[in-house]
């Protein structure tokens, strides 16, 4: 049994690595087939042919694409993401600070949204087809229907402009204390929470309701257990695997999908960093950010797969 579990986990990890390698190739190809000249974008249209040729040589743009790709991978393997074309700054150092800010924002939203989504899903199942279930489902359906930028602007208007509870611009810096930083990121964290809360809650409700139709749940009900104990002791533990999958997918979205929210609140995270350098056509920065986002997304999906394997004996023992 232990060997079978380790084999399945090793297979998932190997597939995840191959998928990340394939994504890195797509990112490299996609950024290199973009129209325009990187050297001209840096020096401007008034640059002389000699200066353009010298810059292309210095940037290695004259090398074949496959050599540039393997040089890029080699740098990533050693922790060197290269230098930004626009200002020459070290990308690894800049990404380290920005990534911490993004993870802090995503973590704050996750701490709020995950337990709340599971709690609301349990309440909706407990009072199925009654007013608490209908009210929760209606509110979450409304939240799903609203795009995140619209939610963000609504929160800015009411939370910052009208009532002045929180700042509208989420500017953070290294020396800022935890509680001060938490106050600054309140509005963007609440925006992300509202975006992912509805989906996690609805999927939690659906997963538990699916388990509630099982024979062992009916047996527990016939034994006289209360609805709360049936859900707590029988339905919820057996619905953990699909719930974990949904939670991990939404956590991946919290990290990868922060781009719009960070731009709205001018938050100095990975999303804002990526958008700024896309506008400047800074290819190394775009490649680095894209690969980091892909690594988090694939990694969290791998965690979801491994948890599903560990909690589901039918997957571990298909025979």
Find out whether 262 and 188 touch, Cβ atoms under 8 Å: yes
The predicted pLDDT at position 120 comes to 85
Angle at 232 between CA 119 and CA 217, to 5 degrees: 125
The predicted pLDDT at position 202 comes to 81
The predicted pLDDT at position 41 comes to 64
pLDDT (tens, 9 = 90+) of the chain, 319 residues, equals 555 677 777 888 888 889 988 988 888 888 777 666 666 666 666 667 777 677 677 666 667 777 878 888 887 888 777 777 777 778 888 888 888 888 888 888 888 888 888 888 878 877 777 888 788 888 877 877 778 888 888 888 888 888 888 888 777 777 777 788 888 888 888 888 888 888 788 877 877 777 776 766 667 666 766 666 776 666 666 667 777 777 777 777 777 777 888 888 888 888 888 888 877 777 888 888 888 888 888 888 888 777 777 766 555 555 5
Map out the domains of the chain with their CATH numbers: 103-283 (1.10.3720.10)
The predicted pLDDT at position 42 comes to 65
Find out whether 196 and 109 touch, Cβ atoms under 8 Å: yes
Sign of CA dihedral 119, 123, 128, 130: negative
Name all contacts of 142-145 with Cβ < 8 Å and 24+ positions apart.
143/194, 143/195, 143/197, 143/198, 144/198, 144/199, 144/202
- If phi over 0 gives left and psi between -120 and 50 gives alpha, with beta otherwise, what is residue 244? alpha
The predicted pLDDT at position 3 comes to 57
Find out whether 24 and 291 touch, Cβ atoms under 8 Å: yes
Q: How deeply is 102 buried, as exposed, middle or buried, from its count of CB atoms within 10 A (0-12, 13-18, 19+)?
A: buried
């Amino acid at each position: 049994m232990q060997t079978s579990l380790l084999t399945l986990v090793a297979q998932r990890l190997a597939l995840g690595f191959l998928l990340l390698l394939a994504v890195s190739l797509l990112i490299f190809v996609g950024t290199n087939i973009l129209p325009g000249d990187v050297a001209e974008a840096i020096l401007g249209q008034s640059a002389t042919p000699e200066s353009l040729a010298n810059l292309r040589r210095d940037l290695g743009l004259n090398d074949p694409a496959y050599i540039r790709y393997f040089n890029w991978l080699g740098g990533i393997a050693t922790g060197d993401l290269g230098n930004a074309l626009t200002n020459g700054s070290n990308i690894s150092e800049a990404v380290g600070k920005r990534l911490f800010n993004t993870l802090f924002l995503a973590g704050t939203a996750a701490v709020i949204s995950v337990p709340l989504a599971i709690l609301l899903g349990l309440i909706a199942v407990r009072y199925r087809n009654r007013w608490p279930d209908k009210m929760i489902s209606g509110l979450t359906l409304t939240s799903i229907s609203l795009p995140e930028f619209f939610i963000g602007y609504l929160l800015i208007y009411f939370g910052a402009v009208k009532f002045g509870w929180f700042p509208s611009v989420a500017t953070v810096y290294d020396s800022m204390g935890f509680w001060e930083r938490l106050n600054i990121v309140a509005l963007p964290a609440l925006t992300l929470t509202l975006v992912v809360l509805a989906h996690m809650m609805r999927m939690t409700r659906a997963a538990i309701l699916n388990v509630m139709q099982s024979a062992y749940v009916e047996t527990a009900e016939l034994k006289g257990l209360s609805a709360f104990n049936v859900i707590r002791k029988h339905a919820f533990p057996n619905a953990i695997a699909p719930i974990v999958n949904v939670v991990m997918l939404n956590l991946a979205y919290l990290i990868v999908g922060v781009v719009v929210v960070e731009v709205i609140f001018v938050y100095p995270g990975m999303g804002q960093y990526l958008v700024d350098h896309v506008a400047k056509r800074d290819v190394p920065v775009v490649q680095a950010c894209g690969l980091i986002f892909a690594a988090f997304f694939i990694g969290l999906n791998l965690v979801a797969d491994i948890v599903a394997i560990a909690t589901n004996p039918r997957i571990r023992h298909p025979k």
